[in-house]
Every structure is written in structure tokens, then in C-alpha cells.
Amino acid sequence: MIPPKNDPRWKQLVSGNEQFAIKGLAVRMMLTRARLMGARRDTKSLQEAIDTAHDFFVKNLDAARDDIRTLFAGEKP
């Protein structure tokens, strides 16, 4: 399952520098974009980054299933 937008792991994902073994190119590109947005660290930018990442995963659940598991260890889409 994709965590809800208020899950603290989203903020860590879009504002952090942690590296993940991402399989999908589209996921890597989206994560780079979201992290650039989140790098501003203001509340609005962080929320926009979280919205972007969350919406991407909702729309691409089947294609990004393995990467979702990698990013949110313990979560099963």
C-alpha cells in the first residue's frame, strides 16, 4: 500500500539524500524532481514535492510496485 501523504516517510524521502536501489527510470526521474522541489525546505515546497511523488505512485502503482517496496520498507503495495 502507498502510505498516506501525512506519513513522515514522505518528508524524509523528498528532503533527504538517502540513496535507494531504484529499478525504474521514471521513478528515479520523479524522485530527482521531487527532491529538487523539497530542497527549498519551506512547508509549501515540501508539500508540493510530497504531492508530486504521491500522485506519481498512485498513477503508476503497477509499474512502480517494486520501487515502492524499496522506498517504503515494510509497505506492500
Q: What pLDDT, in 10s, does the model give residues 3-58?
A: 999 999 999 999 988 888 999 999 999 999 999 999 988 999 999 999 999 999 99
What is the pTM assigned to this prediction? 0.89
Give the CA distances from residue 73 to residues 9, 15, 20, 42, in Å, rounded to whole numbers and listed in that order.
Answer: 10, 17, 11, 26
- Residue 13, exposed/middle/buried by CB under 10 A (0-12, 13-18, 19+)? buried
Residue corresponding to grid cell 515502492: 68
In the chain, where the domains are located = 8-71
